[in-house]
């Protein structure tokens, strides 16, 4: 099962993690391939970007891959322009892929993390 992880990132923690990764690469350590991730600076930004409609659209495409934007708008009963805008944003995020004008969902699962405490 192919998955992507979504995090709410603390900029300072992100900087420390990047520095640690660079240090490990510099000394020649094997760095395991990371799970694909999306990071948002706030829970508000995540919810504003991955709206309920966009998540519904993502699930619809995952269930019916190979449709184009117009077909999706027709089958979901949504306005074409709104579907088009949502598809564009989901493609920018890497949550949808467009091949020859047809849409595909590259992931089977989205995992969201929200830490209550910032690691020291």
> Whole-angstrom Cα distance, residue 97 to residue 91?
6
Instruction: Report which DSSP code applies to 10.
Output: -
The first and second tokens of residue 43, run together, are 């829970």
> Whole-angstrom Cα distance, residue 5 to residue 9?
12
pTM > 0.75? yes
Could you report the per-residue pLDDT of 53-98, keeping only the tens digit for each? 999 999 999 999 999 999 999 999 999 999 999 999 999 999 999 9
Predicted pLDDT of residue 10:
74
- Residue 18 or 3, more confident: 3
DSSP bridge partners of 27: none
Domains and CATH numbers, the chain: 3-113 (1.10.10.10)
Provide the mean pLDDT of the chain: 89
Confidence band (pLDDT; 50, 70, 90) for 11? confident
Mean pLDDT confidence for 96-117: 91
Per mean pLDDT, which of 13-27, 36-50, 61-75 is the most reliable? 61-75
Predicted pLDDT of residue 35:
58
């Amino acid at each position: 099962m192919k998955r992507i992880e979504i995090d709410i990132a603390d900029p300072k923690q992100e900087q420390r993690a990047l520095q640690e990764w660079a240090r490990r690469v510099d000394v020649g350590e094997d760095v395991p391939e990371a799970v694909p991730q999306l990071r948002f600076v706030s829970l508000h930004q995540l919810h504003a970007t991955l709206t309920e409609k966009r998540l519904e659209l993502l699930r619809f495409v995952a269930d019916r891959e190979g449709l184009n934007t117009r077909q999706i708008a027709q089958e979901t009963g949504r306005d074409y322009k709104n579907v088009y805008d949502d598809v564009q944003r989901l493609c920018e995020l890497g949550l949808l892929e467009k091949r020859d004008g047809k849409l595909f969902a590259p992931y089977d699962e989205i995992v969201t993390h929200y830490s209550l405490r910032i690691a020291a």
